[in-house]
Structure 1
């Protein structure tokens, strides 16, 4: 709509300003085209990768997260267990122990910042939709939000998803959400 607005406001802006705005609009369109091409590559990789499809079944894991994790981790058999993958991503508490006392702080934030960010944003998308649901996982998340707060619940869910992803990538298992009847 910017070209139409420029026509309507003709005479109010200098020709230099109008040409500058049109140049920026052209750059924005080119960037949108590049994004569309990159998204098609991601969708194509996702459709051809059994590992990506396997971990995309986990709530909060979309095509971008799935392809990024598979590209960075592969089959994840280099990690002994899910906690090691979560620690590698920086999703575990930073720890300081001295004199027999152990102190746990916020997440360590070590490891791959991009993957950690994708997992946390995926967890946020799950938490936004958790209210009003009554399955076991949603109840756990609702209680966690009430007890620890929204941001800590996001990190906890991202940690849990990282652990699930490690199991899915390193074994033949498939993701099956826990369905528990309401009592």
Structure 2
């Protein structure tokens, strides 16, 4: 399947808000914080038309053991090989569930905030994404790694955080 990159759609935040409310209602007491992350969370940024949500939970095992309400919303859990993360997908949405202890330093959140604050970085990233449109998903993702790593490193440095590899293999 080839990747499509769309111009920013101002409907994305509202779609994310509804999905956040749905997940929160489905998992009362099992989610601390849930946010819209990824390119669709950055006004003006070209993106794949997929809403990425990230939720923090105190216990990933407990969340997984009680995931039936999330599955009832149409999400499917997929094994990604990423440690300390549950990943769910439904048409047009990704839900990343991570441990609450890692929440403040999650690269996805740091990258989003960096792109919101830095128009030049946002434009550079948008240009790269547009140039990679039409590639298969794995090639598209891997081809963005160098720039994402540089942007995440800048965000982590600005916050006094240690640098980490953006790949969670």
TM-score of Structure 1 vs Structure 2, range by shorter chain: under 0.3
Q: TM-score, normalised by structure 1?
A: 0.25
Structure with the larger helix share = 1
TM-score normalised by structure 2 residue count: 0.26
Which of the two has higher C-alpha Rg? 1
